[in-house]
Structure 1
Amino acid sequence: MKFVAIEPLGVGEGTLRKMAERALPGDAEIVLYDTRTADTGELIRRGGDAEVIAVSNLPLPAEVIDGCKNLKLLTVAFTGVDHIALDACRRNGVTVCNSAGYSTAAVADLVFGMLVSLERKLIECDGAVRAGKTRDGLVGSELEGKTFGVVGTGAIGLRVARIAGAFGCKVLAYSRTEKDVPGVRYVGLPELLSTCDIISLHAPLTGETRNMIGERELAMMKRGAVLINTARGPLVDNAALARALGEGKLGGAAIDVFDSEPPLAGDEPLLHAPRTVLAPHVGFATGEALYKRAAIVLGNVEKWLAGTPQNVIQ
């Protein structure tokens, strides 16, 4: 069997190779690439004769899937798989597994790091100290007593809800599947939007959720409310969000994901919007999360070889 990590998975090559050698059969051929490429021909060359390919968030179009003639398992080092040509995988009989759960703690940490930075004006505070200024004009806001809305209550959304409760927030949630969670009350999306002081998005990107927060939904939000998106950029109409921020409708936005992967083009609307804290898609990127992710990727291969596949998307 040939296993190919078609792009770096975020852990050192030596560490990943040792993990792979422990997880895979002794006669497995292990190939680890330490560079990323978007060139279709190069991707086909890298994965063309592999039975198993590991990929992170590198887009794999149908041409690549079709070109990898021996491919049987695609183990994705990511939670979402909207960057994978699933139709081509289905047509070619390729099993697709994801790595759900590896970044739950990391993303939830970032939500509150960005939120506290925004509410306590930490970026401005840092600039003031370095410029020899005082705290004048830098009075912030507390989280205690705020109404916190969670859109999507998978593992990350539920962890965010629990942390929000620990901060002393009243927690509302909206999700396709409701769960019995102490301290969390489920409501419809319009009620959540119009009621909450802070809204954090944790929904997957699907045809139904694309632009789920658009101009109409932003208009429903409380004046001065804060929107957080650490899930998928296209959940939000970011041009409409930038306008709402520019017009003073919203109190701020904390954004880690965009319509495209950073580096962003200079005309990205959110780059020029006020009251924002922006990050270059780092929610999942902690040393601990990346190690967990590699372990899940290889665990997917072990389970598949044993005939008991896990984390199967299709």
Structure 2
Amino acid sequence: MNIVLMESLGVDDSILNDYILKLKDKGHDFKVYNRSDDIKVQKEQIKDADIVIIANMPLSGEVISSAKRLKFINVAFTGVDHLDVSRAKGLGIDISNASGYSTESVCELTICMILTLLRNVREVEKKCREYGTKEGLIGNELCGKTVGIVGTGKIGSRVARVLSAFGCKILAYNGFSNKQNTDIITYLPLKDMLEQSDIVTLHCSASEKSRHIINKQTLSYMRKDAILINTARGGVVDSSALAWALNNDMIRAAAVDVFDVEPPLDDSEPLLKAKNTLLTPHIAFASKESMLKRAKIVFENIDMWLLGKQINKI
């Protein structure tokens, strides 16, 4: 089999080479490329590929269709909305993802963001460097807060468990089919959940149903002292509506790790000019530990697919 890795997996070359060598020892060819978003370059890279590995780079139906030998797309990511899944499936191409690799990393950044906003960490750090005090910047405890979760898959469920251990009351939107951990989660309609939550955190996948689920209307349901966390996908929030809500004191603050356009951002991103925001350039999934987990899953996906026992199937 001809196997092509189209972008970095975020692990040391020595670790990657160990995985590659095992496949080469079984008679497979393995090529590694630097990421390119140029369609012509992508087509050239995978023209003879049987197996393609991508992370979060877009792979269009046009590129997929051009690879006449392609049988398996191995996505080193949880979401697959950057891939033309329908075109691939229409061509009989199998798809797997790296489900679960980033659960702990995303959960931990979510908690970090919540605590940073609640305790005004950035503001008091700045004041301390200016030889000031905590005066006027005393924040809030997390314990006892009501948290609303949109999306209770692996990550959302893990966040629920951790926040429950902090002493939070956990609510979740009942509009998705995946209803887990009902021992600690109360499922409600979206409006009711937003109205009752001190903190709203998003962990749903990108889909037509979740597109702009946080918009001007749903933001109006939130409490004026509530905070919003988005470590899910950029498209689940209407950034313009969120910026408007922040600048007009409709909600207290927001922490955002994902955007409609993958960072680096440009001046057209409305949240860059919004007040009371904590912005990070899509780092929730990325820790040294999660990258190692991801690489392991990716190569397990290949091994099992080659045995005719596909895992993590999309």
TM (norm. structure 1) is 0.96
Q: Assess if the C-alpha contact under 8 Å between 2:146 and 2:196 holds in 1.
A: yes
SS in 2 for 1:53: strand
Q: Tell me the CA shift for residue 14 of structure 1.
A: 2.5
**Counterpart secondary structure, 2:206:** coil
Please say if 1:50 is aligned against 2:52.
no
Q: In 2, Cα distance between the equivalents of 1:212 and 1:31?
A: 40
Tell me, yes or no, if structure 1 residue 106 matches structure 2 residue 108: no
Q: State the percentage of identical aligned residues.
A: 41
Are 2:54 and 2:76, in contact at CA under 8 Å, matched by a contact in 1?
yes
Offset at residue 46 of structure 1 (A): 1.1
What is aligned with 1:236? 237
Greater shift, 179-188 or 90-99, is seen at 179-188
Which amino acid in 1 is paired with 2:298?
A: V
Name the residue aligned to 2:199. Answer: 198
The within-5 A match list for 1:1-314 is 1-22=1-22, 26-33=26-33, 35-175=34-174, 176=176, 177-313=178-314
Aligned residues: 312
SS of residue matched to 1:257: coil
Runs of 4+ aligned residues of structure 1 deviating over 6 Å after TM superposition are: none
CA contact (8 A) 1:13 1:32 kept: no
Shift of 1:190: 1.2
Give a deviation string over 1:187-241, Cα, whole Å, max 9, x none. 1111101100001111111111101111110011112111110000110111001
In 2, Cα distance between equivalents of 1:206 and 1:27? 39
Aligned-pair CA distance for 1:25: 5.5
Residues 245 and 251, structure 1, Cα contact 8 Å, conserved in 2: yes
Structure 1 CA distance, aligned partners of 2:243 and 2:145? 23
8 A contact 1:256–1:282 mirrored in 2: yes
Can you list the C-alpha shifts for 1:134-191, whole angstroms capped at 9, x where unaligned? 2222211111111011111101001100111111111111241223432211111111
Q: Is the CA contact 1:24–1:302 (under 8 Å) kept in the aligned structure 2?
A: no
- The alignment's C-alpha RMSD in Å is 1.2
Unmatched runs of 5 consecutive residues or more in structure 1: none
Aligned residue identity for 1:13? D
Residue-by-residue CA offset, 1:104-138 (whole Å, 9 max, x unaligned): 00000000111111111111122122222222222
State the alpha-carbon separation in 2 of the partners of residues 312 and 163 from structure 1.
Answer: 28
CA distance, structure 1, for counterparts of residue 15 and residue 180 of structure 2:
38
Q: How far apart, CA to CA, are the structure 2 residues paired with 1:80 and 1:69?
A: 25
Q: Which moved more, 1:14-23 or 1:64-73?
A: 14-23
Q: Is the 8 A contact 2:157 2:181 kept in 1?
A: no
User: Take 1:39 and 1:211, find their aligned partners in 2: how far apart are those partners?
Assistant: 28
Task: Kindly indicate whether structure 1 or structure 2 has the higher relative contact order, using CA contacts under 8 Å at least 6 residues apart.
Answer: 1
SS of equivalent to 2:78: coil
Q: Following TM superposition, by how much is the alpha carbon of 1:61 offset from its aligned partner in structure 2, in angstroms? A: 0.8
* Alpha-carbon distance in structure 2 between the residues aligned to 1:11 and 1:45: 25
Whether the 8 Å contact between 1:11 and 1:291 is mirrored in structure 2 is yes
- Where 1:211 maps in the other structure, the secondary structure is coil
Q: TM-score, normalised by structure 2?
A: 0.96
Residue 234 of structure 1 aligns with an amino acid whose one-letter code is G
- Check the 8 A contact 1:23/1:298 in 2, yes or no: no
What amino acid is the match of 2:106? V
